Amino acid sequence: MSSKTTWTIKQLLRWTTDFLRARGAASPRLDAEVLLAHARNCQRIELYTAYREPASDELRAKFRDLVRRRAEGTPVAYLVGYREFYSLPFFVSPDVLIPRPETEHLVVTVLDLAKAMRPNVVIADVGTGSGIIAVCCATFLTEARIWATDSSSTALAVAARNVARHTCADRVTLLAGDLLEPLPPDQHLDIIASNPPYVSRAEYEELAADVKNHEPREALLAGPRGTEVIDRLIPRAAARLNPDGWLVLEHSPMIAAQVAAALEQNGSFHDVETIPDLAGHPRVTQARRK
């Protein structure tokens, strides 16, 4: 981006798309648009009506820094500080995983199960991270009560921002601690949902560099097998769920059979069902408390 050239918005987008594509970005045009909209402090769609507008030196300098950091591997969501999930905007930081479309299948499953139960269902979001599952439940189940736990205090700080952003603090309670332990001892639940760490050690080594080098390791890596956290959660969930309550788990397709087997072998669950994502991969497993 030579300083002697008069750059328009369209030229910036074209040059940056080619630059990021050459450096292996999976979605170079989208990355360029999101970063330029952020630098320009506008909605992405507004770029299309400003194609011929000259870019100021200040805008180009700010944009150049973002593009450099993206080319070095920093995820776009961390650069701009937010990510859309289930049509809602969420704050994100390197203290939490970046929300992924696959987790929307977990949210849809929970919402469908909840709507078939009583209106004032009680839900736990275990390992809430940025709070996306808890906030979506509170947003679309307006009479539900949600408990959200996480062992990371920095992740809970991000979740608190999202709870406040979506004005659901009266129905979402954030608690620090392991799995379900922070909940009151006598609190029973209608649904327990979790997108826990489920990456095995072998899978972790094969993750894309922008994931492995930037997203929190403790939120990804479960252990050698990938089922370690889920194996601990299943018996604790059985002890907390009301009769006919549901446990809903997101997991890697590589451990789907092990997750279903663990639920069957526990003895407290029935109606175990694994649900595929849009690519046909087994992504979410649900089970009903006997």
Is the residue at 87 inside a domain? no
Is residue 28 located within the same domain as residue 101?
Answer: no
Q: Do residues 148 and 206 share a domain?
A: yes
Average pLDDT over residues 6-14: 94
Q: Which of 56, 72, 88 is the last residue of a domain?
A: 72
pLDDT digits (tens, 9 = 90+) for 166-186: 999 999 999 999 999 999 999
Examine the domain organization and report whether 28 and 160 are in the same domain: no
Instruction: Identify whether residues 203 and 114 lie together within a single domain.
Output: yes
Does 85 reside within a domain? no
Whether residue 259 lies inside any domain: the answer is yes
Same domain, 139 and 268: yes
pLDDT at 4: 57
Both 28 and 106 in one domain: the answer is no
pLDDT at 3 over 60: no
Which residue in this structure is represented by tokens 């139960």? 117
80 domain-assigned: no
Q: Which residues pair with 126 in a beta bridge?
A: 149, 194
Same domain, 129 and 268: yes
Rounded Cα distance, 259 and 261, in Å: 5
pLDDT band at 1 (very low <50, low <70, confident <90, very high): low
- 255 and 121 both lie in a single domain: yes
- Is 2 contained in some domain? no
Cα–Cα distance list, 144 to 139, 149, 185, 188 (Å): 9, 16, 20, 14
* 117 and 202 share one domain: yes
Q: Which pLDDT band holds residue 217 (cuts at 50, 70, 90)?
A: very high
Residue with tokens 């990021």: 20
Residues 109-116 have a mean pLDDT of 97
* CATH number of the domain residue 152 falls in: 3.40.50.150
Number of domains comprising the chain: 2
Query: What does the pLDDT average to over 121-142?
Result: 98
Q: Is residue 81 part of a domain?
A: no
**Do 19 and 130 belong together in one domain?**
no
In-domain check, residue 31: yes
pLDDT tens, residue by residue, 64-93: 999 999 999 999 999 999 999 999 999 999
Considering the chain, what is the average pLDDT of its residues? 95
**Domain identity same for 134 and 218:** yes
Q: How many CA atoms lie within 13 A of 133 on its CB side?
A: 34
Q: What is the mean pLDDT of residues 93-117?
A: 96
pLDDT digits (tens, 9 = 90+) for 24-55: 888 999 999 999 999 999 999 999 999 999 99
The band of 6, judged by pLDDT with boundaries at 50, 70 and 90, is: confident
Domain co-membership, 55 together with 106: no
Q: What is the pLDDT of residue 118?
A: 86
b/e map 191-205, b = 16+ CB within 10 Å: bbbbbbbbbbeebbe
pTM: 0.92
Residue 171 has a pLDDT of 97
Determine phi and psi for 232, rounding to 5 degrees: -75, -35
The whole domain housing 61 covers 9-72
